[in-house]
Amino acid sequence: MDFNKAAENDFRDAELEELRAYCDHIKLEYHPNMNADTLRKKLTAAMGEYRELSGDEPGQPLVVPSQQAEIRALVGLNLKPTGRWEGRRRRITLHRSLSHDNTSRPQFFAWGRLHVYVPFGVECSVPYPIFNILKDTTGQKLERKRTVDDEGRIFYRDVWIPSQRFMYADHGDDPDTVRLPESEIDRIARLHRLTDGFAGFSERQYRAICTTLRLSVPAVSGIVGMRGAIEARCGIANSPVDLSTPERTVAA
């Protein structure tokens, strides 16, 4: 199996079993029912993303770091809010509270175009962005409390009390996806580790990562400024560069 040669030709001459073997070779997940055309497109898209980050040009032999299979698998995952999620998932059981009606209708959550309906009272696996939405609904709210002093005088005071919009049980990461990244930030942090801090990356490669992370870095900052912003966003190091506002999540 010559993976590099097949990749240079966009896998056009590969048969179904060969395409499945190529997916397994780079640890690219796929459904057993996918046909050859679908697998070919999936592999081509994965290699296109890899070339964008690695700097390799189509038609040239692929030159990758020592952990090539793990890196290819990372860049081939869809972690965007586009309606399809290929990252880590979390197992939860959503409980019905007094604020919910008694119908069997599931609870709707959305992260961009990724829409999920979670049933009540059933342990299920949800994408990590949806789990983050659930965590974000936990906090505090300000309420006015009626108080009577020793002399019978009534007065009111504002107090913060715990508040949780959705009650749920957290069962931990889905065992089938525990090795996958939970976000783009997690993916880039892993890429940083696998490539020894983006060793040898060009300015174009840094720009591609900044675009993925929605970072706005002045052109005059160069590679040093972009690397600092990337490392700051991924929690690897501090950086004075201002970071853009993360994408909002919504829950119905």
Instruction: Please list, residue by residue across 131-168, b when 16 or more beta carbons sit within 10 angstroms of its beta carbon and e when fewer do.
Output: bebbeeeeeeeeeeeeeeeeeeeeeeeeeeeeeeebbb
Cα 221–224–229 angle (5° rounding)? 80
Average pLDDT over residues 59-63: 39
CA pair distance 94, 115, nearest whole angstrom: 16
Q: Which amino acid is at 102?
A: N
Q: How confident is the model at residue 155 (pLDDT cuts 50, 70, 90)?
A: confident
Could you tell me the pTM of the whole model? 0.60
Q: Which residues contact 119 (CB under 8 A, 6 or more apart)?
A: 94, 104, 106, 107
Look at residue 61 in the predicted model and tell me its pLDDT.
38
Average pLDDT over residues 113-128: 93
Phi first, then psi: what are they for 172, rounded to 5°?
A: 90, 180
Query: Contact, 111 vs 133, CB < 8 A?
Result: yes
Q: Which residues contact 5 (CB under 8 A, 6 or more apart)?
A: none
Decide if pLDDT at 62 tops 50: no
Q: Which amino acid is at 67?
A: Q
- Stronger pLDDT, 59 or 76, i.e. the higher one: 76
CA pair distance 76, 70, nearest whole angstrom: 10
Look at residue 162 in the predicted model and tell me its pLDDT.
63
Average pLDDT, the chain: 79
Average pLDDT over residues 35-41: 88
> What tens digit of pLDDT does each residue of 157-174 get?
787 766 667 888 999 999
Q: What is the DSSP letter of 108?
A: E
Among residues of the chain, what percentage have pLDDT more than 70?
77
